[in-house]
Amino acid sequence: MTAVEPADPLTLGHGFFERARERLDLAVPPALTDPEQPATRGDIDLDPELWAQAGVIPARPAAVLIGVIDRPEPGVILTQRTTSLPNHAGQIAFPGGKIEADDATPLDAALREAEEEVGLDRRHVDPIGYLDLYCTFSGFRILPVVSRVAPGYTLTLNPSEVEDAFEVPLAFLMDTQNHALHSRDWKGLRRRFYVMPYQERYIWGVTAGILRNLYERVYER
pLDDT in tens, 119-157: 999 999 999 999 999 998 888 999 999 999 999 899 999
User: What letter represents residue 154's amino acid?
Assistant: T
Q: What is the pLDDT of residue 96?
A: 95
pLDDT for 85 beyond 80: no
What b/e string do you get for 163-198 counting C-beta neighbours within 10 Å, with b at 16 or more? Answer: eebeebbbbbbbbeebeeeeeeeeeeeebebbebee
Bridge partners (DSSP) of residue 183 are: 192
Q: What is the pLDDT of residue 65?
A: 98
Sketch the domain layout of the chain as residue ranges. 16-43+56-171
Give the pLDDT mean for 69-82. 94
Q: What is the pLDDT of residue 11?
A: 52
Structural fold of domain 16-43+56-171: Nucleoside Triphosphate Pyrophosphohydrolase (3.90.79)
pLDDT in tens, 5-58: 455 544 566 689 999 999 999 999 999 999 888 777 888 777 777 767 777 778
The CA distance from 220 to 133, in Å, is 17
Give the pLDDT mean for 195-214. 95
41 DSSP assignment: E
DSSP state letters, 141-199: EEEEEEEEE-TT------TTTEEEEEEEEHHHHT-GGG-EEEEEEETTEEEEEEE--BT
Average pLDDT score over the chain? 88
Percent of the chain with pLDDT over 70: 90
Q: What is the pLDDT of residue 83?
A: 74
Q: What is the pLDDT of residue 9?
A: 47
Q: What is the pLDDT of residue 191?
A: 83
pLDDT in tens, 181-196: 998 877 777 888 999 9
Give the confidence band of 212 by pLDDT, cuts at 50, 70, 90: very high
Question: Which has more pLDDT, 50 or 215?
Answer: 215
- State the virtual CA torsion across 64, 51, 101, 163 in degrees, nearest 10: -40
Contact 66, 145 (CB under 8 A): yes
Give the confidence band of 1 by pLDDT, cuts at 50, 70, 90: very low
Secondary structure class of 108 (helix, strand, coil): helix
Burial class (CB in 10 A: 0-12, 13-18, 19+), 93: buried
Q: What is the pLDDT of residue 184?
A: 83
Q: What is the pLDDT of residue 37?
A: 83
Neighbours of 19 (CB within 10 A): 15
